[in-house]
Structure 1
Amino acid sequence: MTDWPDPERKLIPRYIAGLNLRTTNSPIYYRQALNIFQDVAERHAKLDKDMLVAWLHVSPGRWASTTRLHRTRIIDRFLDHLEETGAIERNPIAALREACNIKQCMPVWRALASRDPDSALAELYQPKPFGSVHGELMAEHVTLMRNRGYKYTSQAVLLSRFDRFVQLNPALQGQPIGVMLDHWSGAKTTRNHLNECEKLKRILAKILCHQDPSLPSRRPDPRPGKEVAKQWRKPYIYTPTDVGCMLDVARSYPSPRAPLRPLSIYTMLLLAYCAGLRRSELAHLDFGDVDFEGGTITIRQTKFYKTRILPLPNSVMVELRAYTEARRRAGGSPDRHSGLFWHEQRGDRYTKGAVAWLLVDVIRRAGLKPPQGRTGPRLHDLRHSMVVNRILEWYKAGINPQDRLPFLATYLGHRDINSTLVYITVTQDLLHHANERFRVVGAPCLEIGPEVRA
């Protein structure tokens, strides 16, 4: 039994009065939209899709298309209120959204406003996560791996894509999993897709072996990975001159509305290069993570759930102390858990995306990267440069870098030395110092002594 539409129209004024709207014109817009909506509802026996389409068709004579879509938000809130108070059994927009398996209401309204609402709603349909014939098995495996302490993010994405592909191709539901994988591999011919297919086959083989240990293990195919590696861009190694130029650009970064921003960017860039921090690690730094007495910063719960304490040079700590003092004068929060890099206008920390955009913009302004596009040096190349330049300094100081690699791996937050070796790009300077060290240390070992010649 429903109480809406109510003939006396008491629900609409009562609903608007309880909204506490900010402007004086807002109640007028709400009252107009809701009264028109009830006029249409009273001419229909049910509050369903046909009634919503009828309201959208009546609206164009009164409002422009953009205004009409804006008014749908008023209707959404009103229908949610009616459902919460029991005035209607079900919000029809919420029902359509759940049927399409999407989160937003606006795509549903756009589909209803189109010339063919049924076809538009059919195009909105999204498969349910892990809803295929093997979906439950894959979902259990993802849960198992995460319970063991793995993030298992990229693997879950691959499994979700494969599950979605199987759901959108109902003819594959009854086929063996090998046939499904063959169709999935043939869906695209790019190198990245073939490499993803090989990774997916490894994951599925692991899942099936967990279910039936008697199954033979699958031999990995390294060829797709090698083909993808051929198209990887070689890291750009920033020279100390490049870094100095970028720091100068950061100091003079134009920001009239946020005077603290140039110093924030300068300090971000300094830590990205001197400490080899990732952009996410810069964004997640808290004010209390800096220890001025010990000369360290704490990087918490980053990749592979690692937390590490990094010692910093005195020169970097001096710059950090100057930044925190400027941050205090600008009104930054003194709370230990507030963001170290504080956004003046938002009153909150910089996001990971904002950190990346600002630092890449500095690289562009320094003339190291084209004004547009993804070509040229990357932000992550600062991390590569830190590794290469650190090894160069060890060579110049007469230190064997191989003995220091475990410390470097720990400093960077890697699981082992193998991950650190990926960051070692052979430059001309690095090759020269390595050859010189071999000439001094290794070459004498190859000389044949007089007793051997005799």
Structure 2
Amino acid sequence: MTAPGETSVSASASTTTTLRDRLDEYLVLRRALGFQLNDVERQVGGFCTWLEARGQTTTFTIDEAVTWARLNPDAHPSWWATRLSLVRRFAGYLNANDVDVPVIPRGLLPARKPRAVPFIYSQDDLDALLAACDRVFSDERIAATMRTAIGVLAATGLRIGEALKLRVGDIDHVNHLLVIKAAKSAERLVPIHPTTTAALMDYIALPARAASNPDPDGPVFVTANGTGYAYVTFLSRFKRVREAAGLLPRGRARPRLHDLRHTFATAHMSAAYAHDGDPDRVLSLLATWLGHSDATHTYWYLSATGELMALAAGRLELNAGTTQGEPS
């Protein structure tokens, strides 16, 4: 009973903050700092769904986190470790905000992710990819989009995300520069060859592209609706082009879209050795060109190709011979 004028508040009327609510807060906070967090949203959101099915909405145990991470028994251990690491970060955030969840210790499900072996495209491979675009796609706009985008990736070493987010106004066709804004690093200028500039401007002026009514200063590469390409759509079409080009794996190296970036970096280092350039200076330039915050990151893009290793070995032998011939 309540006295007149008093309000009865039941326990059931109180609002309980769930893990999913906390995840939404976490995503908003981190994205405000510039993080993408698509994997976190997908994976940790899946963890919340799994917990909800078990009647857990406000907390979880370490055992539950590990069990969820290993739901797919056939997955590589590195995949289990990746899933658990995403939950670990979320748990750390919750714990720091006085939510009753345990801190997940490091070292559980340890597994180093195996590095993919880069597929270094030869000039014949690149020619085959470009030629296949017109065979695979009867739509002139799609064929031109794939052909031009693949050419730009091969000629600049851009990330695919950077290329798809490139806007018409980001092309300085007078000075042959691209302004790269949507990247992991700060804004940077990427010099391009005049032939690359010409290919981009020809694509932008293509009547089939204009028919999609694109924004004059919108994305360079557009869909039938004049909007920018989604990564999954472009990747799906690239796989069709790759198959039509007849490119097959070489050992453990499979021809991936991202390997165009590896190819670009490796080709420039090979040229530095072949033409008596300064490899250290080229490495530093490549780090800036590729948008790496540290030159050590660029090493990941330098595959040990036979040509590059032979050139490097030749340089070492030359230096050794010069040193031995010097007077003491």
Task: Give the structure 1 partner of residue 12 of structure 2.
Answer: none
The answer to whether the aligner puts 1:221 opposite 2:107 as a matched pair is yes
Higher relative contact order (CA 8 A, sep 6+): 2
AA in 1 matched with 2:124? T
Are the structure 2 counterparts of residues 327 and 352 from structure 1 closer, same or farther at C-alpha, using a change threshold of 3 Å?
A: farther
AA in 2 matched with 1:183? T
The 5-angstrom pairing of residues 258-297 of structure 1 reads 258-297=139-178
Contact 1:138 1:207 (C-alpha < 8 Å) held by counterparts: no
The answer to whether the aligner puts 1:145 opposite 2:24 as a matched pair is no
CA distance in 1, matches of 2:94, 2:226: 50
1:195 maps to which of 81, 87, 107 = 81
Count of matched residue pairs: 306
The 5-angstrom pairing of residues 1-400 of structure 1 reads 134-170=19-55, 177-185=61-69, 187-189=71-73, 190=75, 191-200=77-86, 202-204=88-90, 206-207=92-93, 210-211=96-97, 220-221=106-107, 224-226=110-112, 228-229=113-114, 233-250=116-133, 252-253=134-135, 255-256=137-138, 258-303=139-184, 306-327=186-207, 331=211, 335-343=215-223, 346-369=225-248, 376-400=254-278
AA in 2 matched with 1:243? L
Displacement of 1:239: 1.0
Contact 1:287 1:335 (C-alpha < 8 Å) held by counterparts: no
Contact 2:69 2:80 (C-alpha < 8 Å) held by counterparts: yes
Q: CA RMSD in A?
A: 3.6
SS in 1 for 2:135: coil
Using structure 1 for the length normalisation, give the TM-score: 0.57
Contact 1:132 1:167 (C-alpha < 8 Å) held by counterparts: no
Are the structure 2 counterparts of residues 432 and 167 from structure 1 closer, same or farther at C-alpha, using a change threshold of 3 Å?
A: same
CA distance in 2, matches of 1:175, 1:209: 11
CA distance in 2, matches of 1:240, 1:272: 14
Contact 1:247 1:269 (C-alpha < 8 Å) held by counterparts: yes
Contact 2:157 2:260 (C-alpha < 8 Å) held by counterparts: yes
Provide, for residues 355-390 of structure 1, a one-character-per-residue CA deviation record: whole Å limited to 9, x for no partner: 3333332222221149xxxx9412222121111112
Displacement of 1:333: 5.0
CA distance in 1, matches of 2:136, 2:48: 48
Displacement of 1:328: 8.3
Contact 2:213 2:225 (C-alpha < 8 Å) held by counterparts: no
Task: Give the structure 1 partner of residue 310 of structure 2.
Answer: 432
Displacement of 1:351: 4.2
Using structure 2 for the length normalisation, give the TM-score: 0.76
AA in 1 matched with 2:246? G
Are the structure 2 counterparts of residues 148 and 274 from structure 1 closer, same or farther at C-alpha, using a change threshold of 3 Å?
A: same
CA distance in 1, matches of 2:212, 2:277: 42
Contact 1:267 1:320 (C-alpha < 8 Å) held by counterparts: yes
AA in 1 matched with 2:273? Y
Contact 2:273 2:312 (C-alpha < 8 Å) held by counterparts: yes
Are the structure 2 counterparts of residues 281 and 253 from structure 1 closer, same or farther at C-alpha, using a change threshold of 3 Å?
A: farther
Contact 2:118 2:254 (C-alpha < 8 Å) held by counterparts: no
CA distance in 2, matches of 1:450, 1:337: 64
Percent of residue pairs identical:
23
Are the structure 2 counterparts of residues 402 and 201 from structure 1 closer, same or farther at C-alpha, using a change threshold of 3 Å?
A: farther
Contact 1:279 1:355 (C-alpha < 8 Å) held by counterparts: no
CA distance in 2, matches of 1:353, 1:154: 14
SS in 2 for 1:321: helix
CA distance in 2, matches of 1:220, 1:431: 37
Displacement of 1:149: 2.7
Task: Give the structure 2 partner of residue 69 of structure 1.
Answer: none
Task: Give the structure 2 partner of residue 100 of structure 1.
Answer: none
Displacement of 1:439: 1.8
CA distance in 1, matches of 2:48, 2:295: 35
- Alignment gaps of 5+ in structure 2: 1-15
Contact 1:202 1:218 (C-alpha < 8 Å) held by counterparts: yes
Contact 2:146 2:238 (C-alpha < 8 Å) held by counterparts: yes
Are the structure 2 counterparts of residues 268 and 167 from structure 1 closer, same or farther at C-alpha, using a change threshold of 3 Å?
A: same
Are the structure 2 counterparts of residues 246 and 223 from structure 1 closer, same or farther at C-alpha, using a change threshold of 3 Å?
A: same
More helix by share: 1
AA in 2 matched with 1:324? I
AA in 1 matched with 2:135? Y
AA in 1 matched with 2:110? P
Provide, for residues 304-334 of structure 1, a one-character-per-residue CA deviation record: whole Å limited to 9, x for no partner: 6x43321101222233333334348965758
CA distance in 2, matches of 1:318, 1:384: 24
**Larger displacement relative to structure 2 (180-189 or 266-275):** 180-189
CA distance in 1, matches of 2:37, 2:269: 32
Displacement of 1:349: 4.7
CA distance in 2, matches of 1:208, 1:334: 44
